[in-house]
Chain A
Amino acid sequence: MSRAPALRLTGRATIGETTIFGPLSLEVPAGRWTCLLGPSGVGKSTLLRLFAGLGDEVSFDGNVAASDGAPLAGRVALMAQSDLLMPWLDVTANVTLGARLRGTAQPRERALDILTRVGLADHGTKRPDALSGGQRQRVALARTLMEDRPVILLDEPFSALDAQTRARMQDLSAELLAGRTILHVTHDAAEAARLGETVLLMTRDGITAIASPPASVPRLYDAPQTLAFQGHLLRRLMEAV
């Protein structure tokens, strides 16, 4: 993996006459976990899609760049709310999907290593429909790790999981993705309070940075500091709408 760059975006996005967001300016610091917190419909996902080189559905007037000046294409991995596993491939084949799609050799040993790290070493030959929701999202995490990209874009990847599974996935992701530049879109104040080294609040008025507690991430879900921060974030969300 190459050095993780910081990300910058300035501009506004529209669909026809409707403004999706902006004009605004966003800075995602290098090698840190940034949570972009905001209510539904303020254009968080659109913003993330623009970093992924997607977002053909909006007309974007502005600039998306990495701090090192090199193009972002090929340095980004994406993890979405749905696990997007291919039902006709087994777990190992799903994890090595990127290599299959690029027509390169499939690194099965590394896949097994990564599956071991997400705790699914014994499930390599299973089909996705034989897994639980939490296991499926762990396969998606393994697929993301397999890509070994310096920039990771997370679009509410844990929101469909139950509370217990979600907390475990948060811990595992924070451990395995550390050191990369992470932009994590979420509408869950508790999640941002646990994971955000930088927390940005996105509302109709733009983006505001909110000072986060000094404790390293993933913060303990029941630590008074984390709970107070969660409450503070929720209050800011409520006031913004």
Chain B
Amino acid sequence: MTRGLHLASVALLGLLAWQAVVTFADLPRFILPGPALVFSTLWTSRMLIAEHAIVTATEVLIGLGLGATLGFASAIVLVASPLARTLLRPMLVFSQAIPVFALAPILTLWLGYGLWSKVAMALLIIYFPVTSAFFDALMRTPLAWVELARVMNATPARVLWCVRVPAAMPGFASGLRLAAVYAPIGAIIGEWVGASRGLGYLMLLANGRAKIDLMFAALIVLAVLTLVLHAAVDAVCRRLWGA
């Protein structure tokens, strides 16, 4: 309750400061529109924004699901096979040296202007944090647990599945929390490079037509979308793994 009140007062203060800057600096609305105008545009264009928001949300959710699954599986392969570790880990790190942003035009070329090039962007941007967080946690299983399992005649595969994976789920959860914040970035970059739908596309379009109020409205919706996604992932992680 106090936390909610705290957040609300901070938001109100921010909005007041924003309006004050616009009013006292006498900024034209195509440079920086005031919050009142942005929120009125948000309301009048709600159907348009919602239509594009649904597209972006779909891209983000599919990308998050695929990226989390792929990251989970990769970390397990890396832990289970020393050969995979030797071969793939340097490649994984090297792949991070290529900015994902630079890949967006190529992905659009390969996968087209539709949904899948954005899903691929979201996936690529979250794959490394998820894999890395889960892999590190898997490598840190308390030795005493593994030894207890060995004395109980467990095979390495059972130790991995029954002890190391459940023990590493809090690590996977921190990877997922990062992913929830990064995935929308990936989708938006994808939409900027080439799209006919989505919040990123709408923002570029509004910008090009000097409808800065619409651009800000779309931006606010995007931020709220990301916050809600992060809160949802956080709640699921807490519920499932208590971390």
B140 nearest CB across to chain A (Å):
15
Bound CA span A105–B167, Å = 23
Q: Are A100 and B162 in contact (CB under 8 A)?
A: yes
A77 nearest CB across to chain B (Å):
7
Residues on the A chain within 8 Å of B159, using CB? 101
Residues on the B chain within 8 Å of A78, using CB? 147-148, 151
Is B169 at the interface (CB under 8 A from chain A)? yes
Classify chain B: how many residues form its interface, as a range.
Answer: 20 to 34
Is A80 at the interface (CB under 8 A from chain B)? yes
B234 nearest CB across to chain A (Å):
18
Is B241 at the interface (CB under 8 A from chain A)? yes
Q: Are B150 and A80 in contact (CB under 8 A)?
A: no
- Find B153's partner among A87, A88, A102 (CB 8 Å cutoff): A102
- Find B144's partner among A76, A80, A88 (CB 8 Å cutoff): A80
B145: nearest chain-A partner, CB-CB: A84
Q: Are B151 and A86 in contact (CB under 8 A)?
A: no
- Find B162's partner among A73, A87, A101, A147 (CB 8 Å cutoff): A101
A73: nearest chain-B partner, CB-CB: B153
Bound CA span A64–B169, Å = 38
Bound CA span A47–B163, Å = 26
B237 nearest CB across to chain A (Å):
13
Residue positions of A touching B, CB distance < 8 A: 52-54, 73-74, 76-78, 80, 82, 84, 86-88, 97-98, 100-103, 147
Closest 7 CB pairs of A and B: A101-B154, A98-B152, A78-B151, A88-B166, A101-B158, A101-B152, A84-B148
Q: List 11 A-B contacts (CB under 8 A).
A: A54-B150, A73-B153, A74-B153, A77-B151, A78-B148, A78-B151, A84-B148, A98-B153, A102-B153, A102-B154, A102-B158
